[in-house]
Structure 1
Amino acid sequence: MIDRKTFTVPFGHVAVRDAEGRATGEVVPGSECSRCAGSGFEDKGGARLSLGRTSCAICGGAGLVRRESAAVEATRKHIAQVRKLLGMFAAEMIRRGTVHDASKFEPIEMGPLEAMQAIIDRDGPALPGSEEYKRRTDMLGPMLAHHRLNNSHHPEFYEFEYGGDCMNGVNGMDLFDLVEMFFDWRAANLDRDAGSPMSLSHSIEKYKIDPMLASILRNTADRLGYAVK
């Protein structure tokens, strides 16, 4: 009759086996040898969660791979998945940056823009929200209508798309549109106002942006060191 003994193997440990693969009743930190299924590896320094290779003390074979716990493996898989998804998001933002405002090079937009630039060169930029700003915006009416209809980073794109202001513009956007819109505002601020405080409150009021999203926009500006008003 074979005398069979049972024993508990603590988490992070493996059973020690002899050259014939029989358990000796001892346990050590580490993992099993991929060649002889023995446990001739003892984890040095308690770093049993890091991946590594060594040689087996039982068979001398190379290629011993430490095994991580299921929780660690799941966490690594999750991190890799998030990294992949963020990379896909970043790739789309880079693509958008490449084609941003490309419609301005069409004659229907560039003609009025050149005329407006002549006014700016002569009289200087207009303050957003001012009567002069509104007058100049009206001068660009057809150009702006075409531009906004063809560029989804403008809230007006979704007013055209869905009719009237039932969507309040920004509410029709996705994250890609929103991120591009925010940095479009910042670029316009740098171009027009030489980096003076962004007129974020004006844009928030103009597009009826709700308080939660308004806070996110302000927090983002603060995180990036942009002064706002």
Structure 2
Amino acid sequence: MTSEAKDVEGETADGRTIAVVSAGLGQPSSTRLLADRLASAAVDALRGRGVEAEAVAVDLRDHAHQMVDAMLTGFTAGALRDAVDTVVGADGLVAVTPVFNASYSGLFKTFFDVLERGSLDGMPVLIGATGGTARHSLVLEHAVRPMFAYMRAVVAPTAVYAAAEDWGSGRSGGVDGLSERVARAGAELASLVAARAPAAARRDAADADPYAHPVPFERLLASGGQ
């Protein structure tokens, strides 16, 4: 069993990093708990494929004031800048929000509003939400999934909603059903992440100097300059 997402920024040298964004307000938080379980399932599935991976947590409650500042000024700084870099530089993303007024929380939406346009293009994303009743489960499909689709992320087919009863106990309780959904969603995210080039390799390609390996002059002459 893997441990919960680390509360540090960083990435594995040769493996993949899963950023884990949680918009829970309390400590402890059922939203963070669900996020950790989803991330653990994705990491386990990647390791099952022979791909080393780690999860890095981003608790949005820690950055609430800086997010408001960023919305007003247009600039991110300090710990918020580190959190943004963690998310946009990851190989995959787990994003979990509590349900407020039948939608994602303002804290959750504000963080993704702060990101620069295009920063999540092609990013594999697993979405989740928590709430007091299962009646709000469709918030993932009518609010959260469309938001990430608009940001051109690639959202895993299975979204996981955890209501209060899902945290119950007993053989006939909600735990088994939630565990199955978490495992399926984690496997889907792992498949999307494994199919994509590592983030580090993509950054190296983007940063490569196009003039670092010029074509020898003799070869240009031999090809008629073409």
Measured against the shorter chain, the TM-score band is under 0.3
Relative contact order: is structure 1 or structure 2 higher (C-alpha 8 Å, sep ≥ 6)? Answer: 2
Q: Max radius of gyration: which structure?
A: 1
Say which structure is richer in helix: 1
The normalised TM-score by structure 1 is: 0.25
Say which structure is richer in strand: 2
The normalised TM-score by structure 2 is: 0.25
